[in-house]
Structure 1
Amino acid sequence: MNGDWRTFLSDAGACFEETRLLHFGDPDGERAAATGAVISPLTHRGVIEASGADTRDFLQNMTTNDLRQLSESRAQLSALLSPKGRMLALYRLFMRGENFFLGIPGATLEATLKRLRMFVLRSAVTLEDASERLVTLGIAGEDAAERLIPLFDTLPALADDVCHQGGLTLIRLSGLRPRYELYGEPAAMIEAWGRLREEGFTPVGAGPWGWLEIEAGVPSVEADTVEAFVPQMVNLQAVNGVSFTKGCYPGQEVVARSEYLGKMKRRMYRARADGDVLPAVGEELAAAGETVGANAGKVVAAQFHPEGGIELLAVIPSDEVERDAVHLGSVEGPKLRFLDLPYELPAKQ
């Protein structure tokens, strides 16, 4: 994490656990994600920069999405897979000028950078950790667009649209409510922070932003879920994270078979449960009833709901969801109540 950015946030009341921003010391403010306009410094995330004449072709051959659709005005989610089609990393690809950037969880950045470098060989590609130079801010709220107008002459209207101004890059995200990611160098972001606070945005920690990601049905790959899922298990195709027409990349054959042959037996669902202890990412769920004690799925992400209880995304066998008997921790744990996702999946899935 950039030291100047961390010092600035600490002076603004931020409390940290290592690189993760926990809160700003205001419990009521932390609940504002459900109803108000919020800004969340995503200090637990980092950025990889890729540059050089061969970069687009290199990334096109490594990742699940089609970089022919990527431009300074369009971003995309994409994943790096193992040869067996399992997700090693999930990141947001965007451009600033001629260079490419991957916004990625800090926990998987180093391993992702190392793996990508293995395949550069003689290509004119340079890969480096740009997290000290570019920092990330999450922005959300029903009237967030109106509040952002003083900072941007033009705003991104649709999911994955991108606008640039004054050294800042603003990306519109998918979801039930307007959400954005803002990238910029620390000095520009510190200035933007002041203007966003003037526009009435409430600062919140990583937890409320994580809940907004869950509400939007957007998966993540963290250290404990590396190689746990193929892309369709976490609905990556529903959030425009996979291209089925782009050609070859590591794991592509597995992804293609999953898409065109039969029904996925497991996929990602959104649910709520009672409780005041968050399940860990990668934690297994339990089934009650006829399959008592059976592995009923794996947690992708979990956060406290602003109104109480827990909301989560989990990859679960579809037949267990139909039986409606999935629990956190053990069969004696809280029962999951399944919620709608904000997107449709093909009938065969």
Structure 2
Amino acid sequence: MATVPTSNPDLGSVRLSHLAALDVKGADAEKFLQGQTSAQVSLADGNFAPLTCFCTPKGRMLANAYLLRMGENHFRLLLSSTLLDSLANHLKKFAAFYKTELIALPNLTFIGASDKAQVIADQMALQLPEQIGTHTTNGHTCALRYPSETPRWLLCFDDGFDNHSDSDAAEIKDDEASRNAWQLEDIRSGLAWLTDAQQDHFLPQMLNWEALGGISFKKGCYTGQEVVARAHFRGQVKKRLMRVSVDTKALPEVGASLVSNDDKTVGEVVVSAFDEQGHVELLAVMNTKVTEEAMPVFLAGEPATLLSLPYAIERVDPEQLAVSLNA
């Protein structure tokens, strides 16, 4: 278990190691992705970057990602680095029937930036996107506006940030306290990235993916679509991503159990980080009875407090998001 950092800095700019990219290229790239992913692929237009996910035939998530159109017949998926190889291997089974190529990019440089984002963008001759869920690119660099109360951007460099700019001038941090601050913003935004520890475990709705606009219920079939749609329209989702605070000095493991008064498991940790006071904030997939019955919950013997999320648990159609961005 990680222990509390000596400081929890404000967001400036930090190198991020938990993300990677998978490029999908070729004449059939859009058609191929349309049959595999929860997104309406045509919505990825070089501006809007829809959230998406890939599922098993039983509707369980293999990975979730942002979907970016980098150019003609060229898409990029941003996802957990722990799932890069497994997702690529899964998709290769289907890609063989299309004119498309999958290219795993484990070594891209990812920088998360807030107040330093403009400095970096200026060095790279890159315009920062203003609206959450949109991106810009200049060929070798892309910038994605991330969800957060504090404006922040994810910047991705194909051949290394240090090859193009003065990283000292941008004061890029490379320490766990700064990465913790970025992770804390993800948690407060209600955004959880699936990792290999819980792959093939959750329905997309259990990570609130439809509330974030990550599922199109208006597109045609994709792998797992029938199960995902049935769970939505029949109201069968009894577990939801919830934000929790615990007064403890050590981060819990992914998958650690949250329990009720009678020691029954009612949830499991997906991601956690230290807050400004050195306590732990986390996102956990929890039984909806926790909120319905105002149930006391504990993590490793410590009482857990439910915190609010910045969005309602209701369906948000990505088609409507795309329209609103162009309004």
SS in 1 for 2:250: coil
Partners of 2:48 and 2:133 within 8 A in 1: yes
Q: Is the 8 A contact 1:174 1:239 kept in 2?
A: no
Give SS of 1:327's match. Answer: strand
Residue 135 of structure 1, CA deviation: 2.1
Rounded to whole Å, the distance in 1 between the matches of 2:116 and 2:80 is 24
The residue type paired with residue 162 of structure 2 is I
What is the CA-CA distance between 1:263 and the residue it aligns to?
A: 5.7
- Alignment partner of 1:127 is 2:105: no
Shift of 1:45: 2.1
1:297 aligns with 2:267: yes
Give the conservation status (yes or no) of the 8 Å contact 2:15–2:173: no
Q: Could you tell me whether the CA contact under 8 Å between 1:271 and 1:313 is conserved in 2?
A: yes
Correspondence for 1:18: none
Give distance in 2, aligned partners of 1:202 and 1:246. Answer: 41
Do residues 224 (structure 1) and 224 (structure 2) align?
no
Match of 1:314 in 2: 284
Seen in structure 2, the aligned counterparts of structure 1 residues 319 and 57 have a Cα distance that, compared at 3 Å, is same
Taking structure 1 as the reference length, what is the TM-score of the superposition?
0.81
Q: Give the AA of the match of 2:155.
A: L
Deviation at 1:131, TM superposition (A): 2.2
The equivalent residue for 1:326 is 297
Partners of 2:287 and 2:195 in 1: CA distance: 21
- Equivalent residue letter for 2:25: S
Residue 296 of structure 1: how far off its partner (Å): 0.8
Report the CA distance between 1:166 and its aligned residue.
Answer: 6.7
Counterpart in 2 of 1:286?
A: 259
Residue 108 of structure 1 and its aligned partner are, at CA, apart by: 1.1
Runs of 4+ in 1 over 6 A off after TM superposition: none
Q: What's 1:50 paired with?
A: 24
- Counterpart pick for 1:266 among 230, 239, 243: 239
How far has the Cα of 1:346 moved from its partner? 2.5
1:345 and 2:313 are equivalent in the alignment: yes
Indicate the percent of aligned positions where both proteins have the same amino acid.
29
**What are the residue-to-residue correspondences of 1:93-242 with 2, within 5 Å?**
93-98=67-72, 99-132=74-107, 134-140=108-114, 143=115, 147=119, 150-151=122-123, 152=125, 154-165=127-138, 167-187=140-160, 189-190=161-162, 194=166, 197-198=168-169, 203-205=174-176, 206-242=179-215
User: Structure 1 pair 192/303, CA: closer, same or farther in 2 (3 Å)?
Assistant: farther
Matching residue's letter, 1:326: V
Q: Structure 2: how far apart are the matches of 1:40 and 1:258?
A: 38
CA contact (8 A) 1:59 1:67 kept: yes
1:154 deviates by: 3.1
* Equivalent residue, structure 2, for 1:336: 304
Q: What is the CA-CA distance between 1:76 and the residue it aligns to?
A: 2.0
User: Post-superposition shift, 1:153?
Assistant: 5.7
* Distance 1:241-1:122 versus aligned 2 partners, 3 A rule: same
Gaps of 5+ in 1: 1-21
Higher RCO (CA-CA < 8 Å; seq separation 6+)? 2
Letter in 1 for 2:15: P
Question: Is the contact made by 1:38 and 1:204 (CA closer than 8 Å) also made in structure 2?
Answer: no
Task: Please give the secondary structure, in 1, of the residue aligned with 2:303.
Answer: coil
Q: Give 1:201 shift.
A: 6.1
The C-alpha deviation readout for 1:35-77, integer Å capped at 9, x for no partner, is: x342221223221111111011101110111111002222122
In structure 2, give the amino acid aligned to 1:150. Answer: D
Contact 2:38 2:215 in 1 (8 A): yes
Number of residue pairs aligned between Structure 1 and Structure 2: 307
- Taking structure 2 as the reference length, the TM-score comes to 0.86
Deviations 1:198-226 (A, max 9, x none): 35665543322222211111011111111
What code does the residue aligned with 1:198 have? A
Distance 2:13 2:174 in 1: 5
